[in-house]
Chain A
Amino acid sequence: AQSVAQPEDQVNVAEGNPLTVKCTYSVSGNPYLFWYVQYPNRGLQFLLKYITGDNLVKGSYGFEAEFNKSQTSFHLKKPSALVSDSALYFCAVRALNQAGTALIFGKGTTLSVSS
């Protein structure tokens, strides 16, 4: 079965410190992986994606993610957290369904950055 796991419901980090939001996946074939961020009562904003190529992907707002095929992980990272990074983060994988392709989302991780 195709799935995405975000093992942490919440990640707390102090402003200026590095942050990591974890994601592991299970999918047949080559994975297409994504990170989105959601602010309260808003839709999803795209951060970055991995399709092919370099395992380290750089995205919006200083975020990056590392694709690790052997560990089936795609952790989101940022070297120095900002209070404004506090939001709900979703990892997603493109999967095949009866309609073609769709995104399967993890349950989300709430990032809280304290000043």
Chain B
Amino acid sequence: GAVVSQHPSWVICKSGTSVKIECRSLDFQATTMFWYRQFPKQSLMLMATSNEGSKATYEQGVEKDKFLINHASLTLSTLTVTSAHPEDSSFYICSATSLRGGSYNEQFFGPGTRLTVL
């Protein structure tokens, strides 16, 4: 159980276009989803926290108008990179927390999406 999928797994786009990445919890309801960005051989950087039905909370330094996050249901969150530029090329990973009871909610990670902007 607790499977998180991402689509697409990789995408190549032209500079100036927008790209949407989907993150789905397949077998559980996720009240919270997280979006991370990872540069080659570096750690994951938290970009934003997305709660179902409310606006995402962005980390300092992350442009909310550049990286649009929507969490419209308990199983789907989307990240849209608007007007993408080559410096946005990166590996984007989402994670989701379960609605299971208790004070601790484990994060389950998606397989990641490789974005390359030409």
Chain A interface size band reads 20 to 34
Q: Taking the nearest CB of chain A, how far is it from the CB of B46, in angstroms? A: 5
Q: Which chain B residues numbered 98 to 118 have a C-beta less than 8 Å away from chain A?
A: 104-112, 114
| Contact (Cβ within 8 A) B43 A99 | no
Chain B's interface size range is: 20 to 34
A41 near B109 with CB under 8 A, answer no
**A100 contacts B32, C-beta separation under 8 Å:** yes
B112 to A102, Cβ gap below 8 A? Answer: no
Total A-B residue pairs with C-beta atoms closer than 8 Å?
Answer: 59
In the complex with contacts A51-B104, A106-B43, A36-B57 CB distance below 8 A: no
Which residues from chain B contact A22 at a C-beta distance below 8 Å?
A: none
10 more contacts with CB within 8 A, not counting A43-B110, A44-B109, A46-B106, are A32-B104, A41-B112, A43-B6, A44-B93, A46-B108, A46-B109, A98-B57, A99-B51, A99-B57, A103-B107
Which B residues fall within an 8 A CB radius of A?
Answer: 4, 6, 32, 34, 41-44, 46, 48-49, 51, 57, 59, 91, 93, 95, 104-112, 114
